[in-house]
Amino acid sequence: MEETYVRHVELLGFEKRSYPSQHYVYMLMVKWSDLSEKLIYRTYPEIYTFHKLLKEMFPIESGEIEKKDRIIPSLPAWRWPLSQKSPETRQSTLAEYLHSLTGLPPHIARCRQLGRFLRVRPEDENPPAPNTLKRNETFVVSRELARGNASEISGPILLDTYRVIADFTKTSKHEIDLHTGDLVEIVEKNQNGWWFCQGESKRGWIPASYLEPLDGPEEAEEGEPDYEGEMFVTHKAYKAEQRDEISLEVGETISVIHKLLDGWWVVRKGEQTGHFPSMFLHRAGRQEVHEAERTTLQGRRPPPRRSTIRNAKSIHSRARQRLSQDSYRRNSRRYLQQRGAGSTKEAAEAPLRERKNQDNVPETSDSSSESEPRKEAPVIPPRPSPELIQERCSDNTRNKVSVHRANR
């Protein structure tokens, strides 16, 4: 049976997504030789990475040998920082490229690599979106744009507005200077902690730690710690510079237990936990997905951490209490112990909450009259075990106890 091949690819529009970070995906309708039509989603870096692969596979047709022989269409590179083109203005270039791609000779247009790249993926059918209250924003283009005429688009791009909480001085031409109180619109939120923003007359990268949204505290966008953790692999070494950071070498597999907006994630390696720059990590088993982004990060430094910002002035009164490394370690150890020992149903529902009423606190009767005061017997709390004391005390106390025992 002859293998199906791609007959036509039509650009339908783009979609703004907020998970796992703010980014844009292009909606492509792929028409196959068996007359089926499938909707897929691809990012610009993915398309450009495939474009480079195609040029390597067909060096003659890409003009690598003789420029006059080139028939593979050109595609602007995905550079760091992002080009000045927004997802909206880049559509006409992408639509023309995809149209030209399927019109190439059969040995290119029907190659297995192109078919494999345009096949439906599980995430195409079920896009990840854990926050159902914040729907993805979709922008559909007109038929004229699909035919190469970028005349109109159905709606504007809605950008989030953020406020600068401290002065920031750029250290490269790709960044911009900002002052406390400035308002900027966010074009792209990257998980590495560098966000691309635009002001009244300037555009560039700025650390997310220097920004806060106008409609709520910045902590609202940071998820709770996940002590089960997600497996990631380091693709660049980092040596800790602060006490709550962790040093890792290239190729180490760790668990990410808290993804913070400033690009410094809390990771766990064995009994150790600490902050580590997310730009030096890629998800375990999916290294190829991050190749395009990694090439844009060459030469970039990790963004400043929130804890290093001085004179930060927030307009929000409500703020989430920051977790200490001792809390991360204690909760991680408790979670791993409960998972390994086979916890009870109550502990499984709330693995990090302390259990109450352990045969010591008397139960109050619900049948008593509201006019009668409740009588509760005095309770003598049980003495904690030495192991529990060691688990809950600070590192300073733990070290003193160890020294005291050693001197006996």
Strand partners, 138: 15
DSSP for 346-388? HHHHSTTSPP--SS-SPPPPTTS-TTSPP------PPPPPHHH
Closest CA to 324 of 389, 239, 395: 395
What CATH architecture does domain 230-308 belong to? Answer: Roll (2.30)
| Mean model confidence pLDDT for the chain | 75
Closest CA to 5 of 106, 110, 135: 110
Closest CA to 95 of 153, 41, 30, 28: 28
pLDDT given at position 388 = 67
Does pLDDT of 162 surpass 60? yes
Strand partners, 248: 238
Strand partners, 161: 185
Does pLDDT of 394 surpass 50? yes
Average pLDDT over residues 78-82: 53
Cα 393 to Cα 363: distance, rounded to the nearest angstrom: 30
380-390 per-position pLDDT tens digit: 556 666 666 66
Question: And the tokens for 356?
Answer: 């109450």
Topology alike, domains 160-221 and 230-308:
yes
Using DSSP, state whether 73 is helix, strand or coil: coil
DSSP for 164-193? E-S-B--SSTTB--B-TT-EEEEEEE-TTS
Average pLDDT over residues 307-331: 79
pLDDT given at position 341 = 65
Does an H or E element contain 23, and which?
strand 23-32
pLDDT given at position 253 = 94
Residue predicted with more confidence, 179 or 173: 179
Cα 94 to Cα 47: distance, rounded to the nearest angstrom: 9
Give φ, ψ of 118 to 5 degrees.
-100, 5
Does pLDDT of 271 surpass 90? no
Q: How far is CA 253 from CA 41, 164, 237, 239, 360, in A?
A: 29, 35, 12, 16, 43
CATH number for the segment(s) 160-221:
2.30.30.40
Question: And the tokens for 157?
Answer: 């791009």
Strand partners, 272: 269
Q: Which CATH number fits domain 6-146: 3.90.1150.10, 3.20.20.140, 3.40.190.10, 3.30.1520.10?
A: 3.30.1520.10
Cα 202 to Cα 135: distance, rounded to the nearest angstrom: 29
325-341 per-position pLDDT tens digit: 888 888 888 888 887 76
Closest CA to 286 of 210, 218, 360, 235: 235
Task: Supply the DSSP symbol for 306.
Answer: G
Query: Residue ranges of the domains in the chain?
Result: 6-146, 160-221, 230-308
Angle value at C-alpha 281, between 280 and 284, nearest 5 degrees: 155
pLDDT given at position 358 = 42
Q: Half-sphere exposure of residue 91, counting CA atoms within 13 Å on the CB side?
A: 29
pTM of the predicted model, to two decimals?
0.50
